[in-house]
Structure 1
Amino acid sequence: MSLSAPLLVEERDDRVTLRLNRPEAKNAIDQETVDLLHEACARLERSPKVAIVTGSGGVFAAGADIAQLRERRREDALRGINSGIFDRIRRLPMPTIALVDGYALGGGAELAYACDFRVGTPRVKLGNPEAGLGILAAAGATWRLKELVGEPLAKELLLTGRVLDAGEALGVRLLNEVVPQQELDAAGQRWADRITKQAPLAVRLAKSVFHAPAEAHPVIDDIAQAVLFETEDKYQRMTAFLERKKGRS
């Protein structure tokens, strides 16, 4: 892929980094970026890996591309251009990690909310100013943000346009961790290392069960556990645990 493409994909055996790459537009999410994110998701659905989502130029994403957004009409909204791709990212089989530096506003914030984990820098500015532009945060924030931070703060962000700094976002666990800017990429790899040390199928099923509707529990938990009980990975990991415990006694 060209280094001038609006999304750069950096792939390793057990993880992939998706880097928004429109620094001249503060990584505003345009239609081409959405199309490339769909292509990346299709690959991750076929070959599940941990995904790290980040930006270039010291910005995560300042929002959707306003020039394109201004020209969109009813049929465009009903197509769910951004809501569709962000929901697809949320549903990826393996965990996703957003590395947030600088602005994550509007659609950029909603992309971060769609990820399983968010690691930021002290420069983070996170929020949903859509109402000030005559629209609403329709790509996930109106329902996902309440799940993440609770109704009172979610309403404050959505209805007043308040923007959180890094300390505030960390305080309400909208960020899982704050690290110096120069350590952000390394922090993302560290989070990916933690995840990939776990049993891959156990992580994948745990994520699926976590997001299952309430009425599916506890049946779906028992079925997922039944699958894992039959795996060689479970047997080997438990055997290794017991051997280590025996060695310490």
Structure 2
Amino acid sequence: MAAPTLRIEAERPDRLHVVLDRPGVRNAIDAAMVDELHVVCAQLEAVPRILILSGAGGVFASGADIAELRDRRREDALAGINSRLFGRIAALPMPVIAAIDGWALGGGAELAYAADFRIASTTARIGNPETSLGILAAAGASWRLAELVGEPVAKEILLAGRVLNAEEALALRLVTEVHEPDQLDAAANALADRIAKQDPHAVQATKRVFHASRADHPAVDEQAQAVLFESPAKFALMDAFLARRKKK
């Protein structure tokens, strides 16, 4: 499924590793990349798998493509070009891992915020410089970032141009792991391995319930559990657990 702006690093039954591959412009997110990521989403909605996202050339994504952004007008803003894509990525059935190497700025940072997990290299730099360009971070940062790092730090990033390094991002729990750049892909796959060891239907249900609105709880939890309580996997996994315990 190679595409002009994306590269498939690895494809396995339980995961898909997609690399943003526009190194000449630091993997800036343009309309073609948006379209190609929608194709990836359609595939993962049809056949749920873990998604790993990373960037080529030591950069995750430097932001939206300014050459395109310069010419966008009111109608483009209202179309929610990036926000709809990132919302779709956030809603994928299986977890999404953003492996952040180098710069993740603007739309690149917002793409990472939409992931379920963010891990980083020691070179990671994460921020939202949109206000320095006369616009705002309108593809999720204005609300996701506060949920991730808290309001005071989010305002520093969004209103005062603060850029987090890897150590700061780890301390704030915006990322959960930091690795040397040459170990980042292996770390992303190790995390995917841990996810893949879980029952995929239980993982999907848990992700869906986790992101449900507060008003939907506890009914949404109970409904999801009711389905899982009848699943063959539940009986097989619990029987195996009981058999192992019996042997001890």
Name stretches of at least 5 consecutive residues in structure 1 with no aligned partner. none
- Counterpart position of 2:97: 97
- Counterpart position of 2:196: 196
CA distance in 1, matches of 2:131, 2:203: 37
- Comparing 8-17 and 58-67, the one that deviates more: 8-17
- Counterpart position of 2:85: 85
Map 1:43-54; keep pairs closer than 5 Å: 43-54=43-54
- Counterpart position of 2:153: 153
- Counterpart position of 1:132: 132
CA distance in 2, matches of 1:169, 1:28: 21
- 2:161 partner amino acid: G
- Counterpart position of 2:164: 164
Identity of matched residues, %: 59
CA distance in 1, matches of 2:230, 2:57: 47
- 2:193 partner amino acid: D
Q: Displacement of 1:138 after TM fit?
A: 0.3
Deviations 1:122-154 (A, max 9, x none): 100001010001000000000000111111111
CA distance in 2, matches of 1:140, 1:18: 21
- Counterpart position of 2:7: 8
Q: Displacement of 1:244 after TM fit?
A: 1.4
CA distance in 2, matches of 1:97, 1:32: 22
CA distance in 1, matches of 2:155, 2:191: 30
- 2:5 partner amino acid: P
- Counterpart position of 1:60: 60
- Counterpart position of 1:215: 215
- Counterpart position of 2:237: 237
**TM-score, normalised to structure 1's length?**
0.98
Q: Displacement of 1:242 after TM fit?
A: 1.2
What SS is found at the alignment partner of 2:99?
strand
- 1:186 partner amino acid: A
Deviations 1:85-139 (A, max 9, x none): 0010000000000000000000000000000001101100001010001000000
What SS is found at the alignment partner of 2:209?
helix
- 2:228 partner amino acid: L
**RMSD (Å), alpha carbons:** 0.9
Q: Displacement of 1:216 after TM fit?
A: 0.5
What SS is found at the alignment partner of 1:88?
helix
- 2:156 partner amino acid: E
- Counterpart position of 2:173: 173
CA distance in 1, matches of 2:245, 2:192: 27
CA distance in 1, matches of 2:59, 2:243: 47
Deviations 1:145-170 (A, max 9, x none): 01111111111110001000000000
What SS is found at the alignment partner of 1:71?
coil
**TM-score, normalised to structure 2's length?**
0.98
- 1:51 partner amino acid: L
Q: Displacement of 1:184 after TM fit?
A: 0.6
Name stretches of at least 5 consecutive residues in structure 2 with no aligned partner. none
- 2:236 partner amino acid: Q
Q: Displacement of 1:239 after TM fit?
A: 1.1
- Counterpart position of 2:224: 224
What SS is found at the alignment partner of 1:192?
helix
Q: Does 1:39 align with 2:64?
A: no
Moved over 3 A (4+): none
CA distance in 2, matches of 1:129, 1:211: 28
Q: Displacement of 1:2 after TM fit?
A: 4.6
Cα separation, partners in 2 of 1:244 and 1:2, compared to 1, 3 Å: closer
- Counterpart position of 2:76: 76
CA distance in 2, matches of 1:230, 1:156: 48
